[in-house]
């Protein structure tokens, strides 16, 4: 997956990443890979200690704010 840029819609990017992760059989602990491909502005705000299953919701909720900092 290409890196997310400020021009990308965060919700669309994350949904595409999730679909790709599922289709390719990527390890279920894909949050660290998502962080590596996200924009620098957004990745610094992600809390890696969130329980699995909450990370996607947290990212979708917070991504618009991250891209404006």
A 10 A CB-CB count for 59 gives 23
CA 10, CA 62: separation in Å to the nearest integer? 9
Please tell me whether the overall predicted TM-score, pTM, comes out greater than 0.75 for this model: no
Domain boundaries, the chain: 10-66
- pLDDT (tens digit per residue) in 3-47: 777 787 777 877 787 788 778 887 666 666 666 666 554 544 454
- pLDDT (tens digit per residue) in 44-69: 445 443 445 556 666 666 555 545 54
């Amino acid at each position: 997956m290409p890196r997310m840029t400020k021009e990308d819609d965060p919700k669309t990017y994350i949904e595409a990443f999730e679909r790709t992760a599922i289709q390719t059989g990527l390890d279920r602990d894909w949050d660290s890979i998502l962080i590596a491909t996200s924009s620098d502005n957004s990745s610094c705000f992600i809390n890696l200690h969130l329980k699995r299953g909450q990370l996607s919701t947290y990212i979708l909720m917070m991504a618009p704010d991250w891209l404006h900092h």
